[in-house]
Amino acid sequence: VFAGIAQAPEDPILGVTVAFNKDPSPVKINLGVGAYRTEEGKPLVLNVVRRAEQMLINDPSRVKEYLPITGLAEYNKLSAKLIFGADSPAIQENRVATVQCLSGTGSLRVGGEFLAKHYHERTIYIPVPTWGNHPKVFTLAGLTVRSYRYYDPATRGLDFNGLLEDLSSAPLGSIVLLHACAHNPTGVDPTIDQWEQIRQLMRSKSLLPFFDSAYQGFASGSLDKDAQPVRMFVADGGELLMAQSYAKNMGMYGERVGALSIVCGSADVAVRVESQLKLVIRPMYSSPPLHGPSVVATILKDSEMFNEWTVELKAMADRIISMRQQLFDALKSRGTPGDWSHIIKQIGMFTFTGLNSEQVAFMRQEYHIYMTSDGRISMAGLNMRNVPHLADAIHAAVTQ
């Protein structure tokens, strides 16, 4: 019965790795997928994660019972505290409904489904460009996706006026997706002053913020600093949605550990919101997995392990920052035409190089370097050994 089925296209981001894996070249570099790599080019499991896993394995009282629909309660509390801050008024007033979800993507999807069912305005505005999965997740959740200007190719920075104009003309009450920090794919974030203007505008038009936080701690190396924009929106007492992921900042990628928090107007509303989130989740996957959030909770609740995590997290962030400098220096020393200062100005895991799709194809063909066709490179895939090869390739691509 499926004989006539069409072959689906590869996912534009994950397809880069599929092509990379097929390439036999010894000099190939995968700068496609946003997963951290060590200086040796290897995936990293944090020491603190290994330690937490060992503790859990050695604890004979641990069983494999189902979690509740909403996930591990302790983990949910700790996650809300991590992003909103321990002294957050919303947490102290019990106005936050948090449910454990399948990493960032699952949190966005559950949040999208909840909004499509219960919120009066079905339109969500997403930045241009944005992570490629955003429009698909929200469309399939039942929302109408529109866009707002975000990135200015001319400056390789924020199109702040375009952003303000587009949000000003959005219908009252629209949902707005905001990258909490380290915008993917551009690595361009608003300044704190700009965030404050965005906040004022959004609140004045009752636009509902839906934050996507996939990189807390990865942008600056500080968990609190990266959470500052979100906390400004919580401090004003207004509502918002928050999708959190531990994929990058704790290296928990395949464990699919995330959380959706909805900051509500009162504790009473939060209880009712949580009851409705259960109705969204139950027919999707019944209840979330146990292992990942147990590891995360073990780390977050123990001050010594928490500190160890922050040190390991900062080391990852610092390595990425140093790769930015090395790539910038390598291009400068080659005299590569153009202003490459955006490489050191942009933050987080990605650099939006400004290379066009022909240049990207050239670099794949001639230099075995793999990246998404929009010219986004994952800085985590770079190390001291492969930076010169990348710089040679970029130089050749822009001067060919």
State the catalytic residues: 131, 212, 248
Residue 375: which of 397, 347, 396, 348 has the closest Cα? Answer: 397
The answer to whether 166 and 149 are in contact (CB under 8 A) is: yes
Q: Choose between 131 and 367: whose C-beta lies nearer to ligand PMP.
A: 131
Q: Choose between 13 and 297: whose C-beta lies nearer to ligand PMP.
A: 13
Eight-class DSSP state of 380: G
For residue 75, state whether it binds ligand PMP (rule: CB under 6 A): no
Q: Which two tokens stand for residue 27?
A: 């000099």
Q: Choose between 150 and 367: whose C-beta lies nearer to ligand PMP.
A: 150
Q: Which stretch binds ligand PMP (CB under 6 A): 55-63, 74-82, 99-107, 359-367?
A: 99-107
Q: Choose between 243 and 390: whose C-beta lies nearer to ligand PMP.
A: 243
For residue 105, state whether it binds ligand PMP (rule: CB under 6 A): yes
Distance in angstroms between the alpha carbons of the first and the last residue of the chain: 50
Q: Give the Cα separation of 277 and 279 in Å (integer).
A: 5
Binding pattern to ligand PMP, positions 248-277, x when CB under 6 A? ----------x-------------------
Smallest separation, CB 208 to ligand PMP (Å): 18
Q: Give the Cα separation of 241 and 175 in Å (integer).
A: 10
Size of the site for ligand PMP (CB under 6 A): 12
Backbone Cα Rg of the chain? 21
Concatenating the DSSP letter of every residue in 194-206 gives HHHHHHHHHHHTT
The answer to whether 87 and 270 are in contact (CB under 8 A) is: no
The answer to whether 107 and 325 are in contact (CB under 8 A) is: no
Q: Choose between 33 and 393: whose C-beta lies nearer to ligand PMP.
A: 33
Answer for which of 166, 189, 212, 392 binds ligand PMP (CB under 6 A) is 212
Answer for which of 198, 214, 223, 230 binds ligand PMP (CB under 6 A) is 214
For residue 111, state whether it binds ligand PMP (rule: CB under 6 A): no
∠ CA 272-280-250, nearest 5°, is 95
The residues in 282-321 that bind ligand PMP, with binding defined as CB under 6 A, are none
For residue 242, state whether it binds ligand PMP (rule: CB under 6 A): no
Q: Give the Cα separation of 374 and 400 in Å (integer).
A: 19
What residues make contact with ligand PMP under the rule CB under 6 A?
A: 34, 103-105, 131, 179, 184, 212, 214, 245, 247, 258
